[in-house]
Each structure stands twice: as structure tokens, then as C-alpha cells.
């Protein structure tokens, strides 16, 4: 009887052990399955012909590239009126300055156009003709941005030999502009033009300072003594290809036509390149107002 009980106990112990081993095996398979499924999320493939690539969980977030603000040249330029203290003249005079849309004080130097007024006018006269708005339009249409500097000649009825204004433009105004504004200081970057007496001044400054300006605009100019001779004298040491760009115009009824046409004849006789225009009109604001857009387009074309 004791032997039978012992045998039963042994058989029962073996049976329990077998059950425990089977349970452990199933638990191991479950653990392995959980670890495998947790590594990837299976997408809905749909088309079995499409190769399947497991997609990792928690992929990195996409990064965005910040956009830089753009300059809207349609906003228009800025006009300021400054005071330049002239030691040469012994007093201060006003200077109107136009800076173009998106003017950058630290970037590359801008071309600069110096515009001189006539008698009984001041530094704001060119602005009254709409030069700022015209320049805005040219720049918006793709012209190179440029500055306009318009000084006031206070003693605009004095003899040019006694005035000192021209010397101040060269020795005080230009250095002041180039020290305080981001402008190109090379000859080709500078243009100068004027109306009436201002056109005479512009012609004189170019004729007597050949390497300073790359363009001259003489609009209904009052020719000053000796400048026609000076403009051709440079041919003794220069070629016509070295001359600045030159534009001359007048109205059909301009009372200064004889001097203007004589100056143009000097250019023609010496084969100095230039443009000459005669349009309907007289020596007055109505004429200049009608053609100021032509003037600025010509200046701007030199800086393409």
C-alpha cells in the first residue's frame, strides 16, 4: 500500500511540472510578440504591388525655413531737407536729398544725381516738378536705385566769378554727401544737371572738372563764359570716348537759344557724343514740367 501511494505521488509531481513548463513557454511567446509589435506601426498598404517599408513610431518633426522680409519698392523714397554749413561761403545753405525706396545705409554705394536750380528758385524746385515721384516710378519699373541731391544757390544773381557756389559744390557738398550717405564715389556713379542758370553751372563744373562727373544734363542752360572752349580743350589730352554722357535740350521759343545752339555746335564740330533735343515751349516751368520725366529716364539709363 505504501509503495502504491509513493508511485501516485511521483506521477502527480511529474504531471504538475509538465503543466508549469507548458505555461512558461506560452508566456515567452507572448512577450516576444509584444516586443515585436511595439517596434513598428503597420500601415494600410492597400496595393499589394507597393513595397512595404516599416514606419518608425514618433518620427522627427519637420523643420521650417524662416522667410526673409522683402523690400516693396512701390512704397516710395524719402525726402529730407538738410542744412550744409559752408565755410567757403560763410553761411549755411539748404540741401534737399531724395533717398530711394529700400535705401540701405550699409550696402553697396548708390549712384547720385546732383540737380541745380535756376534763378528765383531754391533747392525744392526740382521736387515741385515731380522728380521724387518720377524716380519712384523708374525704380519700381526696374531702374537702378539712385539718390538725388539738390542744393540751394542763395546768391543766384551774383556773377559766377564772385559767387563761390560752384566751388562749394565741389569741395563741400560732394564730400558731405559721400561722408553722410551710402553713395558710390566713382566718376560713372555721379551725374549732374541743371535748369537755366543751374544748367550753366552743371556745364561749367563738368567742363572744368573732367574726371568728377560721368553725365551732364544741360536743360535750357544759361551758358557761362569760356565753358564752350573748356569743353573742347580736353581733346588735347583725352579722346571723345572718355567724355561724360551729355544731354542738351531747349524749347523752340527759348530766349537763350543762340548760346545753347552755339554750345551744341562746338560738340558737333569736335565729334563729342551728345544728345540734343528741341521741343515746343519756352524758357519756363511749363516746358520743364513737360520734360522732367525725359530727363530722369536719361540719367537713370546710365546706371543700368
What is the pLDDT confidence band of residue 163, given thresholds at 50, 70 and 90?
confident
Mean pLDDT of the 99-104 span:
95
Rg (CA), the chain: 42
As given in the structure block, the three cell numbers for residue 301 are 539709363
User: Residue 161: its pLDDT value, please?
Assistant: 84
Q: Does residue 164 contact residue 87 with C-beta atoms inside 8 Å?
A: no
Give bridge partners of residue 84 from the DSSP assignment.
Answer: 93
Residue 147 CB-density burial (10 A; 0-12 exposed, 13-18 middle, 19+ buried): buried
What is the pLDDT confidence band of residue 108, given thresholds at 50, 70 and 90?
confident
Mean pLDDT of the 176-191 span:
97
User: Residue 106: its pLDDT value, please?
Assistant: 82
- In order of their start, the domains of the chain are 77-301 (3.40.50.1820)
Residue 244 in this model has a pLDDT that exceeds 80: yes
Mean pLDDT of the 11-40 span:
39
Using CA atoms, how far residue 81 sits from 20, 84, 96, 126, 127, in Å, is 100, 10, 4, 13, 11
Q: Which of 223, 220, 188 is nearest to 113 (CA)?
A: 188
As given in the structure block, the three cell numbers for residue 111 are 549712384
Mean pLDDT of the 268-287 span:
98
Which of 10-14, 63-67, 85-89, 275-279 is least confident?
Answer: 63-67
What is the pLDDT confidence band of residue 252, given thresholds at 50, 70 and 90?
very high
Give bridge partners of residue 94 from the DSSP assignment.
Answer: 83
Q: How far apart are CA 63 and CA 47, in angstroms?
A: 31
Query: What single-letter DSSP state applies at residue 74?
Result: G
Query: Is the model more confident about 43 or about 130?
Result: 130
Q: Supply φ then ψ for residue 246, to 5 degrees.
A: -130, 135
pTM of the model: 0.77
User: Residue 2: its pLDDT value, please?
Assistant: 41
Residue 58 in this model has a pLDDT that exceeds 70: no
Map grid coordinates 543766384 to a residue: 156
User: Residue 105: its pLDDT value, please?
Assistant: 87
As given in the structure block, the three cell numbers for residue 130 are 515731380
Q: Which of 138, 126, 128, 68 is nearest to 101 (CA)?
A: 138
Residue-wise pLDDT for 192-211, tens only, equals 999 999 999 999 999 999 99
User: Residue 74: its pLDDT value, please?
Assistant: 62
Three-state secondary structure call for residue 218:
strand
Render 105-129 in DSSP notation, one character per residue. SSSSPBPEEEEE--TT--TTHHHHT
For 119, residues 6+ apart whose C-beta sits below 8 A from its C-beta are 156, 157, 196, 197
Q: How far apart are CA 134 and CA 184, in angstroms?
A: 22
Q: Does residue 180 contact residue 172 with C-beta atoms inside 8 Å?
A: no
Task: Please state whether 37 falls in left (phi above 0), alpha (psi between -120 and 50) or beta.
Answer: alpha
What is the pLDDT confidence band of residue 37, given thresholds at 50, 70 and 90?
very low
User: Residue 70: its pLDDT value, please?
Assistant: 52
Q: Does residue 210 contact residue 234 with C-beta atoms inside 8 Å?
A: yes
User: Residue 210: its pLDDT value, please?
Assistant: 96
Amino acid at each position: 500500500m505504501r509503495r502504491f501511494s509513493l508511485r501516485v505521488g511521483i506521477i502527480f509531481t511529474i504531471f504538475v511540472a509538465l503543466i508549469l513548463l507548458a505555461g512558461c513557454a506560452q508566456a515567452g511567446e507572448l512577450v516576444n510578440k509584444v516586443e515585436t509589435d511595439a517596434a513598428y506601426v503597420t500601415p494600410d498598404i492597400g496595393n499589394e504591388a507597393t513595397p512595404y517599408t516599416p514606419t518608425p513610431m514618433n518620427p522627427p518633426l519637420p523643420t521650417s525655413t524662416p522667410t526673409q522680409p522683402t523690400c516693396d519698392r512701390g512704397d516710395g523714397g524719402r525726402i529730407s531737407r538738410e542744412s550744409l554749413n559752408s565755410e567757403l561761403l560763410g553761411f549755411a545753405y539748404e540741401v534737399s536729398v531724395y533717398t530711394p525706396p529700400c535705401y540701405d545705409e550699409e550696402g553697396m554705394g548708390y549712384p547720385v544725381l546732383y540737380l541745380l536750380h535756376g534763378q528765383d528758385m531754391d533747392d525744392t524746385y526740382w521736387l515741385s516738378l515731380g522728380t521724387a515721384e518720377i524716380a519712384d516710378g523708374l525704380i519700381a519699373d526696374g531702374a537702378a536705385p539712385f539718390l538725388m541731391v539738390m542744393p540751394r544757390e542763395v546768391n543766384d544773381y551774383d556773377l559766377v566769378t564772385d559767387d563761390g557756389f560752384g566751388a562749394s559744390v565741389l569741395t563741400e557738398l560732394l564730400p558731405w554727401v559721400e561722408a553722410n550717405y551710402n553713395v558710390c564715389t566713382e566718376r560713372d556713379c555721379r551725374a549732374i544737371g541743371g535748369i537755366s542758370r543751374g544748367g550753366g553751372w552743371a556745364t561749367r563744373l563738368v567742363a572744368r572738372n573732367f574726371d568728377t562727373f560721368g553725365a551732364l544734363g544741360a536743360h535750357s542752360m544759361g551758358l557761362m563764359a569760356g565753358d564752350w572752349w573748356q569743353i573742347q580743350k580736353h581733346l588735347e589730352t583725352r579722346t571723345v570716348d572718355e567724355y561724360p554722357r551729355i544731354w542738351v535740350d531747349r524749347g523752340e521759343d527759348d530766349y537763350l537759344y543762340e548760346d545753347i545752339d552755339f554750345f551744341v555746335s562746338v560738340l558737333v564740330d569736335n565729334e563729342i557724343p551728345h544728345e540734343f533735343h528741341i521741343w515746343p515751349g519756352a524758357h519756363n516751368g511749363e516746358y520743364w514740367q513737360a520734360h522732367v520725366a525725359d530727363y530722369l529716364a536719361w540719367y537713370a539709363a546710365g546706371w543700368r
